[in-house]
Structure 1
Amino acid sequence: MLKPDSKAPWGNHFAFLKIPIPKLGDAEATNNPLKFVMNARKIIKRKRSSIGVFLTAKYLRLVARFRGPNGASKCIRGTVENTSMAISNVRGPVEQVAFANKPINGLYFVVTGSPQSLMAGVTSYIGKLRVALLVEKDFIDPQKLKSQIEKAFEKISEAACREST
């Protein structure tokens, strides 16, 4: 990326992937949480490879070129204002990072100032997945949300272990 005329992308790159949360009955979710995960994965894979994602990214680059960063920012904000929740991801370093010769144990990433009531930032650091949540004050109880997410991860993990054996 640092070499002149490099073909590697540099800077922030945006694309939007609007995904509805799959519907799954409570009894079915309790008995087979992997079905919910697989349905969500199927939707994401289908939408990720659609032409819409590519065209949105191209459109945002054109807006940034002709209207500047503020024009692109308004475009992005206009899109995210119509969503309930956003998930953003950043690929993190694969080796441990140090600051002032002190190793950093963990990195988290969250977009602040977004208009959603719930924002999730997903990043990897040294091969470990890290999820950070940002919730609107007095709208979502963060402790209850954390507890529910932990329960959901445990159920999914248990179901995956049962299915793999």
Structure 2
Amino acid sequence: MLAYDRNSPLWKLSHMPVYTELQDRTTMRLSRLLLVDDNKKFLDMSREFLESECDHVIVVGTAGTAEEALKLIRQARPTLLIVDLAMPDMSGLELTQRVKQTRPELPVIILTLFDTPRHRQAALEAGADAFVAKASMDSDLIPAIERLSSSGEC
């Protein structure tokens, strides 16, 4: 039986842990995003944008209605919610209020076409943590996610 010296370079090399990119991604602290918008194409585009631009984000689900979002919040346990204002069954403001009643620690970003002072104020009053206009999504969404995410990164 061969005995290896623990101080030898060969022993150290053979006992080094091997890390892969997948292991690095699964062991780092990821923000778990839930996207809520009634426009399926926009949801798909947003998911693709976030997954390609943000290493510390995983999209755990998408919802086309507020009711679907409420179910997914319980099932997927997101750490960050991105919500459109205008949806068919309930407004993004009402959804935000309901979420904040049960999960006040869950950050909510309102992402909408309606970029007016009135809409911004209403989002703030509903409990939203950030407001991003869809027109400036490519420059403003990632900083908002970084500010509110559990990892502090995107």
Q: Please tell me whether Structure 1 or Structure 2 has the larger radius of gyration of its CA atoms.
A: 2
Higher relative contact order (CA 8 A, sep 6+): 2
